[in-house]
Copies of this chain bind each other. A is one copy, B any other.
Amino acid sequence: MRSPTSRTDDRPEWGNSVTGPLPPSVRSRIDPFIVMDVMREANARVARGDDIIHMEVGQPATPAPKAALAAAEAALRSDKLGYTDALGMPALRERIAAFYGERYGIGVPPERVVVTAGSSGGFILAFLAILEAGDSFGLPNPGYPCYRHILSALGAEPRLIAPGPDDRWMPHARHVEALKAQGAKGLLLASPNNPTGTMAVDGRVGEIARACARERLWLVSDEIYHGLEYDRPAETALAASGEAIVVNSFSKYFSMTGWRIGWLVVPEDLVRPIERLAQNLFISTSAIAQHAALGAFDGIEELEETRKVYAENRALLLEELPKAGFKNILPADGAFYLYAETSHMAEDSRALCQAMLDRTGVAATPGLDFDPAEGKRFVRFSYAGSLDEMREASKRLKAWRETGQGF
């Protein structure tokens, strides 16, 4: 038995052999989500006893807030945990809707909230509901790689836009007009963005939402890092447009990655199409995760403490990473990522990340995951771990640099 994980992706069996195994589909030839490959390797090293610091994956060091865990434990004892309504438990949809009043001071009707299997489930539903096979859709570059891979797997065509430093690496209304002129069906906006951590300047999210409505393009606003800002609050696209599709999740701010629960807010006319898709593609979202998520709203105080840790981590790394040789870190407005230039350290950051993991036990993600064009010149560090881990990582990286063996 060959190990399936020891193989490369440029394998011979894509061909149309008539005697060997049947070939996988062409559309399964998407790139891996590199961070997951790095995480698997890092986990294998942990299992072997290595002392690894996980800075590769957007995984909080903290578990779900205590109130969420208590709600899950109560549900284990009192609920059968069977299928729920495909759109989610009514109580959770109502609680999420109310959160928009509390956080942003806007009204969102519970009927427009769809509970999903993480933001991943939300993207699948949203893209299927608005795009045909062959449609193109604008994506920020650098950006979360699953946007383009999910679009490709569903037969749509990612159109990468590269906003650059003038716009804080965020799209501008002129990108909306350019996409319209190119025949694209819409734009994905993420502020704060992954991997850069940058946020749109104040008012920009609303400008883009209005430009999309004017040009009759779909706007999908990925707001998964909302709540994790260090300077000024993030804007929701819902404040400017009832036609925007908002994707959010309990994974990041609420510290519940492995629970696989998130939500969409969709325009009224998409509710029933999305319900039909959700019924057929997912049946329903995890019942225990829905109970836990409902409880999580009582854990805001704890989550705000965690955010303070991230702020300390961020300050520490902005000080220490340059000492370890990392340059030109993008303005880290939100989320828990630093995106650093490494072209002076290695031609391809994949080799750099591999050497860094081998020599220091610090796992980070090569930029190629997020930017197929320029990514080999960058590395993304996640600072969602503990302050002690960040201190230890800084120490190891500086020591590695001092040996002169690394780069």
Give the B-binding residues of A (Cβ under 8 A).
1-5, 7, 9, 11, 13, 18, 21-33, 36-37, 39-40, 43, 47, 57, 59-64, 69, 72-73, 76, 79-86, 90, 109, 111-112, 117-118, 120-121, 124, 128-133, 145-146, 149-150, 153-155, 216, 218, 243, 256-260, 267-277, 279-289
Contact = CB atoms under 8 A, between A and B. Distances in A.
A85 B130 contact: no
B22 A128 contact: no
Contact of A153 (B22, B216, B277): B277
B273 A28 contact: yes
13 contacts: A4-B111, A4-B112, A4-B271, A7-B272, A21-B268, A21-B269, A22-B130, A28-B273, A29-B273, A32-B280, A36-B284, A117-B117, A128-B153
A133 B155 contact: yes
A86 B40 CA distance: 8
With a 10 A CB-CB cut-off, give which of A82, A274, A284 has the most chain B CB atoms: A82
A15 B274 CA distance: 18
Contacts of A274: 28
Contacts of A25: 128-132, 273
Given A22-B218, A31-B276, A258 B81 contact: yes
A288 B290 CA distance: 13
Nearest to A131: B25
Contacts of A61: 80
A286 B283 contact: no
Chain B CB within 10 A, most for which of A30, A43, A276: A276
B4 A268 contact: yes
Nearest to A117: B117
A134 to B, nearest CB: 9
Nearest to A242: B21
Q: Which of A79, A129, A258 has the most CB of B within 10 A?
A: A258
A276 B82 contact: no
Contacts of A243: 21-22
Given A130-B25, A131-B25, A153-B281, A2 B286 contact: no
Nearest to A86: B36
Given A59-B83, A117-B117, A260 B284 contact: yes
B76 A72 contact: yes
Nearest to A35: B279
A176 B49 CA distance: 50
B117 A260 contact: yes
Nearest to A125: B28
A28 B128 contact: yes
A148 B31 CA distance: 27
Contacts of A129: 24-25, 28
A43 to B, nearest CB: 6
Given A73-B73, A280-B150, A288-B72, A13 B111 contact: no
Given A28-B129, A83-B59, A258 B284 contact: yes
A128 B133 CA distance: 13
A287 B259 contact: yes
A101 to B, nearest CB: 15
